[in-house]
Amino acid sequence: MSRSIWALWKWPLHWQIFLAMLAGAFVGLALNFLTGARDIRVTEGLPQGWQAVEIRERVGSTRLRILRDDGGETELRVEAGETRDGTFATLSALRAIHPDVASVLDVHGGTWATTIGNACRQLGNLFLRMLQMVSVPLVVTSLITGVMGLSGHAVGRMFALTAAYYATTSLLAILTGLLVVNLFRPGLGGQGAPTGEGTRSVIASEPPPIGEVLFSQLENLIPANPLGALVEPNFLSIIAFSIAFAVFAMRIGGATARRVHEAAKTGMEVIMAMTHAIIRLIPLGVFCLMLYVTATQGADVFRSLGWYMLTVTAGLVIHGCITLPLILRFVAKRSPTEYARALSPALLTAFSSASSNGTLPLTLTCVEQRAGISNRTGSFVLPLGATINMDGTALYEAVAVLFIAQWHFGENLPLTQQIVVAVTALLASIGAAGIPQAGLVMLVIVLQAVNLPLELQGIILAVDRVLDMGRTTVNVWSDACGCAVIETLEHRVTLRDIPPDAWE
């Protein structure tokens, strides 16, 4: 038995990750099913004057009934969303007003599903921290090495090609989203439409206008303090400064350029070695993160908003499995299945972590070492893509807003309004960070553009994390496909030279 478990370690990495993902989901769902709900009555160790506290725990919500000696009763709830009368968005919000109730929950609250799920999230986060640890030095060294391998003219050309690719694929993704949401009409179907109960917003204040969001992205391109950008980290600032640094080192030329290039190459070698070591731990990280999501969210999440989820998923599948592979086949002249296989460790990690930025070190390693993309293309296209190219997010924004509009108005938005949604969804996806649920935060901008009440965002909150996993995978897949496309357009691809699989 122990020998067969040990043999798993020798399996190809993408199979290990896939297996870990399934195992995590299975264990999480089982935990949720068996231990996700609990009703208890606490009578011991309560503050003076309290007779009993009844705690009713379900996935994502806890209801408390405090029964007093004098016959009085108070009902309180803790559930994600807005803090208002008797309802608290988090345990900390409850603690601020009712510390005595919170301490009863500290001692007696928490189903096994949430307790184990949260412990696994902490373990999974350790793995994400390791990836974050290498991401800034990897982006800096790899970008400087990549840019210094190009001529000054080629940098401009690469930038123009990359921007054109990002804009084209994001628009195609939005059109796909609009197509499926008009076809499926999830908000009008009845069976998929959620009830108004629980409608609430995660965003308490007014969202900034889209112009302001885009201008702040422009400001990010000029870091007032490059070291601050490294510490934060602000990827757009880091990318802009690293490119400028490399370009000016090339301008100086001679021994200076040689030394900068050598130093960047040496740094990159070391960071790559660290990344490889971290990559061995992916199956464990993926197992923990999948277990956390399924144990704490359960299968109910899939049932209540099924029709809407189906629409977003259909759009993501069309874009990820038809549109991008067609571009890969006909523009980049690459086999989509082989390319996807080479990228599978990155795609599976993007799925379970829901973070393009977190997956970046892995995406870089996969395109360069498993898919035969040159360092200069990978290091240029991927960091920029993880920050501003988000096809999955753009598609999701379009579907979510049209779904909410259908549900709210009882009919589809007119074409002119759908065009407004398309344009704002594109801009919002550029503004979204490559971190979990950033797309949800940007959704308010699109809702506002078509004058929909912001609190309606609450109806899709419950399923956002699950959809985030799918859209992040498409975001990373699009960035990776962009590398192949730009490599080919730059006439640099040498398909015969693809190195043997490094990890198999």
Residue 169 exposed, middle or buried by CB count within 10 Å (0-12, 13-18, 19+): buried
81 binds ligand ASP (CB under 6 A): no
- Please count the helices (runs of H) and the strands (runs of E) in the chain: 21, 5
CB burial of 324-346 (b: ≥16 within 10 Å; e: otherwise) equals bbebbeebbebebeebbbbbbbb
- For the CB of residue 139, give the shortest distance to ligand ASP in the complex, in Å: 15
Neighbours of 399 (CB within 10 A): 33
Pairing of strands 73-79, 50-58: unpaired
Q: Which is nearer to ligand ASP, 111 or 473 (CB)?
A: 473
Question: Cα(360)–Cα(343) distance, rounded to whole angstroms?
Answer: 12
Token digits of residue 315: 């759009």
Distance from CA of residue 115 to its chain's centroid? Answer: 23
- For the CB of residue 391, give the shortest distance to ligand ASP in the complex, in Å: 10
State the amino acid at position 225 in one-letter form: N
Q: Which is nearer to ligand ASP, 111 or 393 (CB)?
A: 393
- For the CB of residue 394, give the shortest distance to ligand ASP in the complex, in Å: 9
466 binds ligand ASP (CB under 6 A): no
Instruction: Tell me which of 62, 355, 379, 387 binds ligand ASP, using CB under 6 A.
Output: 355
Name the nearest CA neighbour of 367 among 291, 293, 477, 207: 477
Orientation angle between helical segments 336-353 and 112-148, nearest 10 degrees: 130
Residues of span 426-465 touching ligand ASP by CB under 6 A = 432, 434-439
Instruction: Tell me which of 356, 379, 418, 448 binds ligand ASP, using CB under 6 A.
Output: 356
- For the CB of residue 477, give the shortest distance to ligand ASP in the complex, in Å: 11
Q: Which is nearer to ligand ASP, 349 or 448 (CB)?
A: 349
Instruction: Tell me which of 223, 472, 482, 489 binds ligand ASP, using CB under 6 A.
Output: 472
State the amino acid at position 243 in one-letter form: I
406 binds ligand ASP (CB under 6 A): no
390 binds ligand ASP (CB under 6 A): yes
Q: Which is nearer to ligand ASP, 345 or 439 (CB)?
A: 439
Distance from CA of residue 125 to its chain's centroid? Answer: 14
- For the CB of residue 446, give the shortest distance to ligand ASP in the complex, in Å: 12
Q: Which is nearer to ligand ASP, 376 or 471 (CB)?
A: 471
Q: Which is nearer to ligand ASP, 378 or 439 (CB)?
A: 439
The helix/strand/coil state of 69 is coil
471 binds ligand ASP (CB under 6 A): yes
Name the nearest CA neighbour of 412 among 176, 194, 187, 196: 187
Neighbours of 16 (CB within 10 A): 22
- For the CB of residue 466, give the shortest distance to ligand ASP in the complex, in Å: 12
Question: Cα(165)–Cα(330) distance, rounded to whole angstroms?
Answer: 14
Instruction: Tell me which of 391, 468, 479, 487 binds ligand ASP, using CB under 6 A.
Output: 468
- For the CB of residue 359, give the shortest distance to ligand ASP in the complex, in Å: 8
78 pairs with which residues across the strands?
62, 88
- For the CB of residue 437, give the shortest distance to ligand ASP in the complex, in Å: 5
Instruction: Tell me which of 21, 113, 354, 422 binds ligand ASP, using CB under 6 A.
Output: 354
Give the interface with ligand ASP as residue ranges (CB under 6 A): 354-356, 390, 393, 432, 434-439, 468, 471-472, 475
